[in-house]
Amino acid sequence: MGYNRILLKLSGESLQGAQKYGLSTDVLQSYAEQIKAVAESGVQIGIVIGGGNIFRGLQGAKRGFDRVKGDQMGMLATIINSLALQSALEDNGVKAKVLTSIRMEPIGEYYSKAKAIEYLEAGYVVIIGGGTSNPYFSTDTASALRGIEIEAEVMFKGTRVDGIYTADPEKDPTAVKFDKITFDEVYNRDLKVMDMTAFTLCKENGLDIIVFDMDTAGNLQRVLDGEPIGTLVCKE
């Protein structure tokens, strides 16, 4: 497909692997190896990671936490995940920087578009933690926002399923996978690709989305090579 710069969105929950909580070193190693292979091919990679393996603000609110405090705890969870991935990448010989949307030097440098692009162009994998820094916004929305800001050509949304289906394939055996679908058709079919704020941000700013299974080793490179895995969401 010939992309030069991508935004990779990783699910926090996927980092827990077979565990029910926390971080799996096996998953981190698998992700680091896949990202290394792509980075070595010359593709610039920005990454946003969720925090669901540690804490979700929305779930916290249901348990009685103040929503704003809960979301702030979730932001910190994304930074823990960002540091874990940075460590795994560096262990594999990949230069990586963590930029945070909340000031917390020396844990990470404060995010700006200019700094992110400077590091990308210098050959670093740039991991952006802390969500949007505002409550009520998901890490999907942070991915859309950062993808647009760093002028990525596409968002790769790594998930546990291998694309977008007509229904939930884990619940409906008759569900059919889309190879390609428009933003409007996702709206019309009420398919759950990501939250509406994030999805609309991508649509209005022309950021295509590729949903694919990141948990199968080598899939990130296969998608970049144009192999027919995953689902492309585009304007037409």
Beta bridge partners of 45: 6
The answer to whether residue 1 scores a pLDDT higher than 70 is no
Split into its structural domains, the chain has a count of 1
Would the pTM count as exceeding 0.85?
A: yes
* pLDDT value for 64: 85
Of the listed ranges 81-90, 123-132, 220-229, the one predicted with least confidence: 220-229
Cβ–Cβ < 8 Å for 155, 9: yes
pLDDT over threshold 70, residue 104: yes
Higher pLDDT: 172 or 62? It is 172
The pairing of beta strand 164-165 with beta strand 177-178: antiparallel
Give residue 63's pLDDT.
84
Q: What is the mean pLDDT of residues 92-111?
A: 97
Q: Which residue has the higher pLDDT, 167 or 33?
A: 33
> What's the CATH code of the domain at 147?
3.40.1160.10
User: What does the pLDDT look like over 185-229, one tens digit per residue?
Assistant: 999 999 989 999 999 999 999 999 999 999 999 999 999 999 989
Query: Domain containing 28: what range?
Result: 5-234
Question: What band does 141 get if pLDDT is binned at 50, 70 and 90?
Answer: very high
Round to whole Å and give the CA distance between 109 and 127.
11
Q: Is residue 67 classed as helix, strand or coil in its secondary structure?
A: helix
Token reading at 217: 């080793």
Q: What pLDDT is attached to residue 65?
A: 83
Element (H, E) at 146: helix 139-149
Average pLDDT score over residue span 118-141 = 97
Structure tokens at 47: 């990454």
